[in-house]
Amino acid sequence: MCGIWALFGSDECLSVQCLSAMKIAHRGPDAFRFENVNGFTNCCFGFHRLAVVDQLYGMQPIRVKKFPYLWLCYNGEIYNFKQLQKQFGFEYQTLLDGEVILHLYNRGGIEQTASMLDGVFAFILLDTANRKVFLARDTYGVRPLFKVLTDDGFLGVCSEAKGLINLKHSSSLCSKVEPFLPGHYEVLDLKPSGKVASVELVKFHSYKDEPLHVACDTVETLPSGFDVETVKSNIRILFENAVRKRLMAHRRIGCLLSGGLDSSLVAAVLLKLMKEINISYSLQTFAIGMENSPDLLAARKVAAHIGSEHHEVIFNSEEGIQAIEDVIFSLETYDITTIRASIGMYLVSKYIRKKTDSVVIFSGEGSDELTQGYIYFHKAPSPEEAAEESERLLKELYLFDVLRADRTTAAHGLELRVPFLDHRFTSYYLSLPAELRIPKNGIEKYLLRQAFEDSNLLPKEILWRPKEAFSDGIASVKKSWFSILQDYIDQQVDDLLLEKAAEKYPFNPPKTKESYYYRQIFEKHYPGQSNWLPHYWMPKWVKATDPSARTLKHYKSAAQE
């Protein structure tokens, strides 16, 4: 994890512009570099480093003797860099996983480069010999990337939007900052003036397609067929492989643990594999919640079962409320459920950074979208419509859960790893017949639970624990976290302000005091940027006025039982 930033064709003094690069310093607390591009005085790179791999030669932009005309700034982890080296005979100059991007590009161009990378990434690649700039982002947007491109060819690129919104250009502020689409690369021509012109934006991978890099994966061809035992075995093999490849790190590994199915599976498989490869330290797991919250109690059971070094972070409503503004500034969104869920994750990340030496943090993001884990999937009209909804949620992950997971951890200089979003695992799961993936017997994620039923990785009551939204599980059953927030905010927002909300905020107008309160804070830090969120996250097929699972009938009946 790190922070990348670059400008091409700046009209303003770069020493002034680089102040914007410092807005993302939290992403790389270990080192910073600011470097001009030879021959292009108005082009530069900025890099904030979190040293996780190759602590000696890991500074960026990466340049190697073999390709003196290539400059690379990237944020991410490429898990198959050693396999690619073996397959193509690459001669690496450093131990950096990202160096493979330079060799792949030299061998086969940008299309092959992006398609062959097994990992999470956002990168800026400059080829001064051919006067090209390339931008690319991984399939699910696990690593963030934003850009601004003006009509006259000034380009700014950054890991977070906050590093671009105050750039100066031609005596005016650059306003059209937008997220770079996941699963895409863009080709831009670099003019002698240092300015650029976009040539094409290409989608290089669809999550339903088996990725090209499967050809050099450590797991060979899997048995075909859709009989349940074969499917369950394949799920276990691919998920374990997804966790194993993410063990690549020179810093201590930890794991977030809510006590729900997803984070518990990640933690259990992670600890099993760490023992297999004789990692010398114990696995630290981290749970957060209010006193005696469901998540704390469930996480305690899991930690005892798997034998992790468990940490509990207990917070009160006042601490959570005080964190709201910092959370919204970090997130760069005003989405209701994203903010609610981010507060706990932000506070636990703060604890990890201050109180422990764990830096690489595993988590369970992506499972709900992939395996149909949200409560409202029980109401899907058909397996086919449930499958379509699952795919829509995966496509929009970069706007919601993946955004939350990245920003709350990166705000405290931690690196997040999400095995449920492994390319091969997700493409296999999505290739299964729609009827296999739907909730069964009133239980969501039935197939995933069934796959691990005989593994003894988790206690049965955890493996079959019903879905609990993270933002609700951290509070008590009697009073949800969203209710606590709403009670506080009700006193902060006047009724008249809410009545006129649509006039003040015509795009995505707030419908509740809570959403109005979040929107006010967002506009304070990012005025006029409401288009970053195309719509609020809300459940489908139910008449919901609030995104919380606890407001749905299915949850209420399950809780009463």
Catalytic residues: 2
What stretches of 332-480 show up as alpha helix (H) in DSSP? 336-355, 367-370, 383-395, 401-410, 423-431, 434-437, 446-451, 460-463, 470-473
Task: Give the separation between CA 49 and CA 230, rounded to whole angstroms.
Answer: 43
- 133 beta partners: 126, 188
Would you say 253 and 283 are in contact if contact means Cβ atoms under 8 Å apart? yes
* Angle made by CA atoms 280, 253, 87, in degrees to the nearest 5: 90
User: Considering all CA atoms of the chain, what is the largest pairwise distance in Å, rounded to the nearest integer?
Assistant: 70
Burial of 282 per CB tally in 10 Å (0-12, 13-18, 19+): middle
- Which positions ≥6 away from 221 have C-beta within 8 Å? none
The bridge status of strand 2-8 relative to strand 40-49 is antiparallel
- 123 beta partners: 74, 136
* Angle made by CA atoms 376, 377, 378, in degrees to the nearest 5: 85
Structure tokens at 58: 């890991």
Q: Which of 365, 420, 525, 405 is nearest to 143 (CA)?
A: 405
Task: Give the separation between CA 345 and CA 287, rounded to whole angstroms.
Answer: 9
